[in-house]
Amino acid sequence: MAAVWHEVKHVCKQTGARYGILHTPHGDFETPLFMPVGTKATVKTLVPEEIKEVSDGLILGNTYHLWLQPGDETVKEFGGIRGFMNWDGALLTDSGGFQVFSLSKIRKITEEGVTFRHHKSGEKLFLSPEKAIEIQNNLGADIIMSFDECPPFDADYKYMKDSVDRTIRWAKRGKDAHKNPDSQALFGIVQGGGNKELRKYCLEKLMEIDFPGYSIGGLSVGESKEDMYEMLEYLKDVMPKDKPRYLMGVGSPDDLVVGSINGIDMFDCVLASRNARHGSAFTSKGKIQVKNSSLKHDHSPLDDECNCKVCKNYTRGYLNHLVKADEILGMRLLTYHNLYFLKNLMAQIRQAIKEDRLLDFKNEFFKRFGYIK
């Protein structure tokens, strides 16, 4: 059996959303699922024992950042990311491509790869499809990504076609360089920006190469939600039915619901933890700013419908104090709560799929959360 495979157990009669099981070397996971982002072998502010409580057991690490610090060879010494951070769940790593294109102001793309400057030191660096796979082989995640170019969503046709063709060639080179196909599943990444014809073309060429799963890249990069949802709706019917579908870098509550409706199995995003560090919390009645002065004397829990240990043990007034005082504990508690909220949301989405009522759930949730006025 392949390193990773996906079983679709039920398709929602109301929406076509998929409930399934993702099988990996380090656990089986119900889908659709959300993966907290552990960029540098840490989900910021949380220890692994807490990450277990606020995730389904599959988290993401970042190839670019771990390559630069402490170095993939160093991580390999400790038994890969799992041994390094003492994580006994499953892992996914991205290829580093998005960071190369988003963090480096100066870069040169050739057929061989990308030459660019370190986003802090300015040091000259080079990343190729083969190097990205070698790094990920050393990091040891269960699921790894092809090295791709993430072009602007609205790039002109010629640029987008050239970029997509290069991404396809790089995907083939990456697969050829992959040393651990029996223990690490390499996904192909579908690019093409806002062009449906190029998205389909990219997917078809990647399917010819044959990957155990397919990621959708280049969305939530500044385009409107309407444009993103339209592309997801289009891809829903052309993506292979028997392989996992991963929407990269998308994770706001509304996007998780709409993405699931459009057949996505896996999501990741830094939004929940980043919002927490800036004092913003998800609740069953919408997003709130915890430093708002109206919460100073509020004795109620952050969310009276949430069962996480933050909501069971601390008041809004106390959290308001921690955030306003820039206390690290405030960031920790809000990060824990926000990730727990998304874990619980995904469980509700899966239940709604199994009960053939995901569209009803979407309408109820959007009203309560404040997406529909």
Q: Which residues is 61 bridged to in the sheet? A: 93
What is the distance between the alpha carbons of residues 136 and 62, in angstroms, rounded to a whole number? 9
Report whether 66 contacts 81 (CB < 8 A).
yes
What is the distance between the alpha carbons of residues 13 and 358, in angstroms, rounded to a whole number? 9
Q: Which residues is 145 bridged to in the sheet? A: 187
Report whether 348 contacts 19 (CB < 8 A).
no
CA distances, 48 to each of 39, 120, 176, 335 (Å): 13, 28, 34, 13
What is the distance between the alpha carbons of residues 143 and 136, in angstroms, rounded to a whole number? 9
CA distances, 241 to each of 5, 180, 345, 347 (Å): 12, 25, 24, 22
Which is nearest to 160 in space by CA: 120, 121, 198?
A: 198
Report whether 178 contacts 137 (CB < 8 A).
yes
So which residues are the catalytic ones? 94, 268
The β-bridge relationship of strands 114-117 and 107-109 is antiparallel
192 — phi, psi (to 5°)?
135, 5
Q: Which amino acid is at 239?
A: M
Question: 353 in helix, strand or coil?
Answer: helix
